[in-house]
């Protein structure tokens, strides 16, 4: 008897799930979303690669990265800046020179997250401002031991052309000194 009730419950749930999905497509925007989701059923993910230079300038007239939370001295004097948070709006260029073609901006924050070395938690969105992906973005979230010759970060998502994106980025310092870092990036994005 109980089993029969359970069965009925599942039948009801599975019958109504598609109905619920259907009723939400009443507006034009939802219909467009439905079509986009349907496309996913048969479209193969595409692979897109980007190469650019990221300019993080921490002092001087062209500063683009601001320390907004200092490393708390109350914890312990930290050589690794443990606890400091920077927020930034950094240009991305085609070549290492800041005067070269602008490809986009990287907006986000990094917080010094290691007591042993210079290593930050990097959370940023790369917005493309030129080319075929103008206006689309991908988001990176990961650990960045900034003095290591090569770092790798996960791409956790995207917008526009990069909806539901996954991927990874590799980075290495082209220049790194007390006033700035110019970082070479390769980004590999799997998207629809």
Ligand X SMILES: *[C@@H]1O[C@H](CO)[C@@H](O)[C@H](O)[C@H]1NC(C)=O
Pick between residue 57 and residue 139 the one whose CB is nearest to ligand X: 57
Q: Which of 191, 192, 107, 122 is nearest to 153 (CA)?
A: 122
Q: Token pair 């006033």 is at which residue? A: 179
Decide if residue 100 touches ligand X (CB under 6 A): no
Mark residues 36-55: x for contact with ligand X by CB under 6 A, - for none: ---------------x----
Structural contact between residues 61 and 33, judged by C-beta atoms closer than 8 angstroms: no
Decide if residue 70 touches ligand X (CB under 6 A): no
Smallest distance from ligand X to CB 54, Å: 10
Angle at 151 between CA 149 and CA 156, to 5 degrees: 165
Pick between residue 46 and residue 51 the one whose CB is nearest to ligand X: 51
Decide if residue 171 touches ligand X (CB under 6 A): yes
Pick between residue 25 and residue 107 the one whose CB is nearest to ligand X: 107
From 184, 188, 190, 192, residue interacting with ligand X (rule: CB under 6 A): 184
Decide if residue 63 touches ligand X (CB under 6 A): no
Structural contact between residues 100 and 94, judged by C-beta atoms closer than 8 angstroms: yes
Ranges of H-type helices in the chain: 2-23, 28-42
* 6/133 Cα distance (integer angstroms): 50
Smallest distance from ligand X to CB 117, Å: 19
From 13, 15, 20, 178, residue interacting with ligand X (rule: CB under 6 A): 178
Judged by CB under 6 A, the chain residues 114 through 143 that form the site for ligand X are 129-130, 134-135
Provide DSSP, 136-161.
-EEEEEEEE-TTSS-EEEEEEEEEGG
Structural contact between residues 120 and 83, judged by C-beta atoms closer than 8 angstroms: no
Pick between residue 103 and residue 113 the one whose CB is nearest to ligand X: 103
Structural contact between residues 106 and 126, judged by C-beta atoms closer than 8 angstroms: yes
Decide if residue 24 touches ligand X (CB under 6 A): no
Cα 65 from chain centroid? 17
From 186, 188, 190, 192, residue interacting with ligand X (rule: CB under 6 A): 186
- Residues that bind ligand X in the complex, under the rule CB under 6 A: 51, 129-130, 134-135, 170-172, 175, 177-180, 184, 186
């Amino acid at each position: 008897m109980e089993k029969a009730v359970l069965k009925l419950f599942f039948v009801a749930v599975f019958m109504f799930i598609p109905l619920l999905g259907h009723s939400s497509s009443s507006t034009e925007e939802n219909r467009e979303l439905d079509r986009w989701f349907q496309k996913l059923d048969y479209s193969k993910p595409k692979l897109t690669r980007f190469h650019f230079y990221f300019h993080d300038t921490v002092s001087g007239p062209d500063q683009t990265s601001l320390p907004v939370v200092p490393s708390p001295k109350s914890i312990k004097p930290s050589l690794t800046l443990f606890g400091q948070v920077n927020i930034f709006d950094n240009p991305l260029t085609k070549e290492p020179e800041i005067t070269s073609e602008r490809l986009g901006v990287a907006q986000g924050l990094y917080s010094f997250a290691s007591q042993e070395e210079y290593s930050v938690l990097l959370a940023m969105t790369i917005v493309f401002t030129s080319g075929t992906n103008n206006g689309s973005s991908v988001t990176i979230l990961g650990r960045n031991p900034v003095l290591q010759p090569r770092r790798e970060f996960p791409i956790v998502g995207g917008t526009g052309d990069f909806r539901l994106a996954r991927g990874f980025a590799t980075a290495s310092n082209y220049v790194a000194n007390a006033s700035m870092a110019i970082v070479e990036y390769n980004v590999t994005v799997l998207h629809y």
